[in-house]
A = this chain, B = another copy of it.
Amino acid sequence: MSTPSALEELIEALRCLPGVGPKSAQRMAYHLLQRDQQGARRLARALEQAVQVLRHCRRCNAFSEQEVCERCASPRRDASLLCVLEMPADLNMMEQTHAYQGMYYVLMGHISPLDGIGPKELQLGRFLERACDGEVQEVILATNFTNEGEATAHYLGEMLRARGLRVSRIARGLPVGGEIEHTDAGTIAQALIERRPL
């Protein structure tokens, strides 16, 4: 009743952030108003700006301020390799490895029939066009090893092989530094099945 409406609206608006419920939203609002009004103004500007200038790169589908992002435009990257990822965060992790110099395509999701996300919703036609540009020799499927990620990889694999492209899947197994004792049985089983000759 007597909570001011600008405060109520801010708390409500903060709830559009993923993982932020009513309690956290309230805590965030109070924090910003009490201790970081400058941060609040900066965040407001950054949101406006980001929504305005960011779009999807025409080549890799990741966020970019240009029609084709720097990475896709770079002549130094190997255009014969195309790595498919679910989300932009995955792309950041990939780049941090410094182990890959090919191109990327970000699906912005995965196939998930329960959530009503099928090939059409993922705009796989657009991806197919990218993969069949004539330069790509091999598509590396790097979706997650979750049910949805696996289903997506399976679907894409069938689709790409039907068009005569070479397709691979990133390896499953124990993490670097991983110990058998502390690894789940499913991972150990997969690491056995996919063992490599030395």
Binding site for B on A (CB under 8 A): 1-7, 9-10, 12-14, 16-19, 24, 26-34, 36-37, 39-54, 63-66, 69-71, 74, 87-89, 92, 108
Contacts and interface: CB of A to CB of B under 8 A. Distances in A.
Contacts of A31: 17-18
Nearest to A42: B13
Contacts of A5: 65
Contacts of A53: 4, 6
Interface of A is mostly: helix
A104 B50 CA distance: 41
Contacts of A44: 43-45, 47-48, 51
Contacts of A50: 6-7, 9-10, 29, 32-33, 40
A116 to B, nearest CB: 14
A47 B54 contact: no
Contacts of A71: 2
A49 to B, nearest CB: 5
Nearest to A27: B18
B40 A92 contact: no
A88 B30 contact: yes
Q: What 10 A-B pairs come out closest when comparing CB atoms?
A: A16-B39, A13-B46, A2-B70, A44-B47, A10-B50, A13-B43, A10-B46, A4-B65, A44-B44, A18-B31
